Structure 1
Amino acid sequence: MCKEKNITALPLTFLSKNIDKKSSFSTDVLLSLYEDMLMGRNFEDMCAQMYYRGKMFGFVHLYNGQEAVSTGVIKLLRSEDYVCSTYRDHVHAISKGVKTKHVMAELFGKETGCSKGRGGSMHIFDAKNNFLGGFAFIGEGIPVALGAAFQSVYRKQIFSDLGELNVTACFFGDGTTNNGQFFECLNMAVLWKLPVIFVVENNQWAIGMAHHRSTSYPEIHQKAEVFGLPGFEVDGMDVLAVREVAQKAIIRARSGNGPTLIEALTYRFRGHSLADPDELRSRKEKDAWLVRDPIKNLKSYILENSLTEINILNDIEVKVKKNIEEAVNFALSSPEPDIKELKKYLFVED
């Protein structure tokens, strides 16, 4: 039976049992993870509101349901590490440190956006935080991620950089793994032992195509073996499970032992984009995943194990909502790009 069907049928206690095995997470870490996931969820919910109010244009792809993957991997990275994303990139950027107000302003097409309003939803970029961008076409970010990882090795070997290798985390969906860039880059990453982590966000659907119908071998993580790198499957609805696997991959990459492939089994709670009526997925399937909401389950785990008081979590929720409100107000009050600068940033300036 394919993994997509197996993971849907997991008992509701799967997440809590999986977390109970992990005793090395401090309360501060758990609260930090909870806040980051909650920030991502609230940001995306606000994006939906703003989109339907006509404040955003074009295609907007939301990340609801997949927050455990972004938080579980990116919050382990250092500021000097790199992240490459997809067109579903808002939450990746926020987890990497890009301020919500700058992401929101970018979505509004404002000059104060992290890409000066030129990128929009699918092309979030922030050099300061080493966020190398969202990419409108699937697979585009993988070669870019390899370039970032290569320069880290090059600096050490050619310029005798005494620091540790910088790690690059590259996110993409299950549909991308049927494309040539995926296989070519796995091969090259192993040949050059590049410090890169390939994170497959297997949300079970490539737009309107179910994963198990689009590939002859649905277990993506096992494809890593062909190229000689380790491949792991992890419950992408469990932030602690994702973090545990990611930590091993980051240590391996930073120590010069090469790449790792992580397949995170997750699910998007909304349609492919805000323009998608989402009529292809069954209500039964959606409901089976909704009860495994990574944010609600982490909150339940924290409270059931008396790791903090409910008022602390409530304070975090208030803080997050205030942050999102300020981001919207910042975007609304920001100036539009000057028409005289229409061609600015197209070419390198002297």
Structure 2
Amino acid sequence: MSTTTPAPSVQGLEPEVRLGLYSSMVLVRTFEEAILREYHADKGPGFDIGKGLVPGEMHLAAGEEPVSAGVCAHLTANDAVTATHRPHHFAIAHGMALRPMAAEIFGRTSGLGRGRGGHMHLFDPDTHFSCSGIIAEGYPPALGMAFAFTRRGSDAIAVAVTGEGAANQGAFHESLNLAALWNLPVVFVVEDNDWGISVPRSASTSIPNNADRAAAYGIPGHRVEGNDVDDVHEVAGRAVARARAGEGPSLIEVHTVRMWGHFEGDAQGYRPDLAEVGDRDPIPAYEDRLRSAGVLDDEQIARIRADATERVEDAITFAKGSPEPDPAEAGMYVFAEEAQS
């Protein structure tokens, strides 16, 4: 059986570590609030998803910042992360540069994929980061990277992130099985935000705790309750250390919260908890705890928020000022091009 970590339970984290966790969450939220602003600025009248500076769907992760901050605090740029269609929090927490990330979201040529991937298909070789709009797609590639790290004799690891709905996909189970069989350095992370799009977990999954599924593959499973970043940090630290030491994979499930819609424009009529969801915001809750612990004060909060705003607005300005792809070049980077003699 898996173990469950209630919140709050962690004592003794260094103040610098906790400030780093808080700063990471604030930067993510600041970035997503800016994307939210730009996304909705010109979608009307009538909310046309194809209009505006940021066309297409948009999936934001407000409320899920403790997962990315707690996990990525243990990673280096040599470690790989594969994320979901809701990827910004993990991309930022793992160190992705904000300018090319924002430019990719805006569909500009200075973006990570030259504006061709958009927000669900961020790919960054510098931080070994990738994501996909396909459910559970990131789990198998994480195995490949972990296998490559092992063959190279590196202590780098892979982190594979998905939502609780994807734990019913074949790729999820196949990946856990193979990672356990080959003793690969992978940390599997499940973000349980209670909703698979509009379907509650209780209507789609036969057990209430996906971390229990780890036992079927002979690996440790841990569920973190309370959406608490200190607890995520503690559990993730053990799993990452285990992977680096060559002791194999682990599965972590975090009970988090999706504060906004599955996608922007989602009316969320299926949610009975909308009136209370704001009270579950993890950032002011953590801020209050750090104040009480004497780790954070008004001056530090203002400085951290101002720094986040400056960095984010710089990235947004860069993205808006970058050129759009030339339609005549739509076929480029799709097929290999022969070198001209």
Q: Please, what TM-score do these two structures have when normalized by structure 2?
A: 0.91
C-alpha separation in 1, matches of 2:78 and 2:110:
23
Match in the other structure for 1:79 = 77
1:204 equivalent among 190, 194, 199: 194
Match of 2:145 in 1: 148
Instruction: Please give the root-mean-square deviation of Cα atoms over the aligned residues, in Å.
Output: 1.7
Q: Which residue of 2 aligns with 1:315?
A: 303
Contact residue 103 and residue 110 of structure 2 kept, 8 A: yes
**Distance in 2, Cα, partners of 1:296 & 1:197:** 28
2: CA distance, partners of 1:304 / 1:81: 34
Instruction: Please list, as runs of the form range in 1=range in 2, the aligned pairs for 1:1-350 lying within 5 A after superposition.
Output: 15=7, 18-19=8-9, 21-23=10-12, 25-53=13-41, 54-131=52-129, 133-156=130-153, 163=154, 165-235=155-225, 237-282=227-272, 285-348=273-336
CA contact (8 A) 1:68 1:236 kept: no
Deviation at 1:122, TM superposition (A): 0.6
Q: Does the CA contact (< 8 Å) of 1:197 and 1:261 recur in 2?
A: yes
Give the whole-Å Cα distance in 2 for the aligned partners of 1:333 and 1:203: 35
Point out the more displaced range, 291-300 or 33-42. 291-300
Q: Is the 8 A contact 1:190 1:259 kept in 2?
A: yes
Q: Is the 8 A contact 2:186 2:248 kept in 1?
A: yes
SS class of match (2:187): strand
C-alpha contact 1:85 1:134 (8 A) present in aligned 2: yes
CA distance in 2, matches of 1:308, 1:58: 39
Displacement of 1:338: 3.0
Supply the distance in 1 between the matched residues of 2:15 and 2:214 (Cα, whole angstroms). Answer: 34
* Percent pairwise identity: 38
Q: Distance in 1 between matches of 2:268 and 2:192?
A: 17
Q: Deviations over 1:110-135 (max 9, x none)?
A: 0111121111011011011111x111
- Aligned counterparts of 2:268 and 2:165: Cα–Cα separation in 1: 17
- Alignment length, in residue pairs? 325
Separation of aligned partners in 2, 1:250 and 1:279: 39
Partner Cα separation in structure 1 for residue 278 and residue 327 of structure 2 = 44
CA contact (8 A) 2:257 2:280 kept: no
1:328 shift after superposition = 1.1
**Distance in 2 (alpha carbons) for counterparts of 1:271 and 1:289:** 11
Q: Is the 8 A contact 1:146 1:196 kept in 2?
A: yes
C-alpha distance in structure 1 between counterparts of 2:326 and 2:93, whole Å: 30
Cα displacement string for residues 237-256 of structure 1 (whole angstroms, at most 9, x for unaligned residues): 21110000000000100111
> d(CA) in 2 for partners of 1:47 and 1:22?
35
Unaligned runs of 5+ in 2: 42-51
Aligned-residue offset at 1:287 = 4.4
State the distance in 1 between where 2:268 and 2:102 align. Answer: 24
Q: Offset at 1:278?
A: 1.2
Conserved in 2, the CA contact under 8 Å of 1:235 and 1:242?
Answer: no
Report the Cα distance in structure 2 between the residues aligned to 1:309 and 1:38, rounded to whole angstroms: 15
* Structure 1 residue 309: Cα displacement: 2.7
Once residues 345 and 260 of structure 1 are traced to their aligned partners in structure 2, the CA distance between those partners, rounded to angstroms, is 36
Question: 2:259–2:281: 8 Å Cα contact kept in structure 1?
Answer: no
1:289 Cα deviation from its structure 2 partner = 4.2
1:322 is paired with a residue of what secondary structure?
Answer: helix
Indicate if the aligned counterparts of 2:27 and 2:308 stay in contact, CA closer than 8 A.
Answer: yes
Q: Cα distance, 1:51 vs. partner? A: 1.0
Question: Offset of 1:348 from its aligned partner?
Answer: 4.2
- Structure 1 stretches of at least 4 aligned residues deviating more than 6 Å after TM superposition: none
How far, CA to CA, are the matches of 1:208 and 1:225 in structure 2?
28
Comparing 165-174 and 302-311, the one that deviates more:
302-311
Hey, what's the Cα distance between the residues in 1 that align with 2:261 and 2:306? 27
d(CA) in 2 for partners of 1:309 and 1:212?
41
Contact conserved, 1:70 with 1:95, CA < 8 A, in 2?
yes
Letter in 2 for 1:93: A
CA–CA distance in structure 2, aligned partners of residues 36 and 170 of structure 1: 19
